[in-house]
């Protein structure tokens, strides 16, 4: 087994990486020093913006939660958490990860930044309504797909669901999935899993 260290702060996107490691059954060392870790020099060798999550896999740094989760899944091909490179399943994984981050998560992240994260004097509220509408536009697409299938790829649980459900839960915490019954059922289904970290979302 390769040595793995996860730099994490529980109520953050690092919850995706922890969940993946637990599903994969990969042993790892956790560095969690609470909020003081975020932005600290300790993270500099692993993340150029000193953000969490960050990982060190066999002595090599890796950042971006979706990339880290996918790398962990690739380490355990027998667990079927992600399709192999070149497969239809892998292409769908890449599709849904990109969709989740660029058509859904960016809008709610902007809302959080401008309502909670940034200091008052730096907040801009002009886009909040638009953020909600654009998130719902993406969420509607995912809701329709989940009306036909319990999971996003190949109708079985995969790392894609770990990455996407975090964003859906985040949207729920902003009151944005009330109209989407399939997304609500998806969260319910995934939160039943033994290693689910979905309860960490909501206080990013
Ligand atoms: N796209 C990145 C986002 C990482 C990120 O923004 N993490 C937040 C915590 S959830 C953070 O470290 N924020 C501190 C900052 O923005 O300086 C990922 O998915 O890993």
Structural domain spans, the chain: 4-79, 88-198
CA of 78 to the centre of ligand 1 (A): 30
CA of 151 to the centre of ligand 1 (A): 26
16 CB within 6 A, ligand 1:
no
> For each successive 10 residues of the chain (204 residues), what is the average pLDDT?
94 95 98 94 97 98 98 98 98 98 98 97 97 98 98 98 98 97 98 91 57
CA distance 163 to 13: 9
Could you tell me what percentage of the chain is helix, strand and coil, using 3-state DSSP and rounding each to the nearest 5?
55, 5, 35
Q: Homologous superfamily of 4-79 in CATH?
A: Glutaredoxin (3.40.30.10)
Q: What are phi and psi of 109, to 5 degrees?
A: -65, -40
With a CB cutoff of 8 Å and minimum separation 6, the contacts of 152 are: 92, 96, 142, 145, 146, 158, 160, 161, 164
Assess contact for 26 and 1: CB atoms under 8 A.
Answer: yes
38 CB within 6 A, ligand 1:
yes
State residue 202's pLDDT score.
56
- Is 88-198 a CATH 1.10.10.10 domain? no
Other Cβ atoms closer than 10 A to 195: 13
State residue 11's pLDDT score.
82
Maximum CA extent, the chain? 50
Give how far the C-alpha of residue 52 lies from the chain's centroid of Cα atoms, to the nearest Å: 12
Token pair of 159 as six digits: 């790392």
64 CB within 6 A, ligand 1:
yes
Angle among Cα 64, 197, 190 to the nearest 5 degrees reads: 105
State residue 200's pLDDT score.
65
CA distance 35 to 42: 12
- Identify which of 202, 130, 141, 128 has the alpha carbon closest to the alpha carbon of residue 169: 202
Residue from 35, 51, 107, 162 to probe ligand 1 pocket by mutation (most atoms less than 8 Å from CB): 51
12 CB within 6 A, ligand 1:
yes
CA distance 76 to 70: 10
How deeply is 189 buried, as exposed, middle or buried, from its count of CB atoms within 10 A (0-12, 13-18, 19+)? Answer: middle
């Amino acid at each position: 087994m390769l040595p793995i260290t996860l730099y994490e702060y529980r109520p953050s996107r690092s919850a995706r990486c922890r969940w993946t490691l637990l599903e994969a059954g990969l042993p790892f060392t956790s560095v969690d020093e609470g909020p003081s870790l975020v932005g600290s020099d300790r993270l500099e060798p692993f993340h150029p913006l000193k953000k969490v999550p960050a990982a060190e896999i066999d002595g090599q740094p890796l950042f971006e939660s979706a990339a880290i989760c996918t790398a962990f899944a690739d380490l355990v091909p027998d667990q079927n958490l992600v399709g192999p490179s070149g497969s239809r399943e892998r292409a769908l994984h890449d599709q849904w990860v990109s969709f989740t981050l660029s058509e859904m998560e960016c809008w709610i992240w902007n809302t959080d930044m401008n309502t909670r994260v940034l200091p008052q004097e730096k907040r801009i509220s002009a886009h909040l309504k638009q953020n909600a509408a654009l998130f719902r536009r993406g969420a509607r697409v995912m809701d329709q797909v989940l009306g036909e299938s319990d999971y996003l790829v190949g109708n079985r649980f995969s790392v894609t669901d770990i990455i996407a459900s975090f964003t859906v839960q985040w949207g729920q915490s902003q009151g944005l999935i009330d109209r989407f019954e399939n997304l609500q059922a998806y969260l319910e289904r995934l939160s039943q899993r033994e290693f689910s970290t979905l309860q960490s979302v909501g206080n990013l």
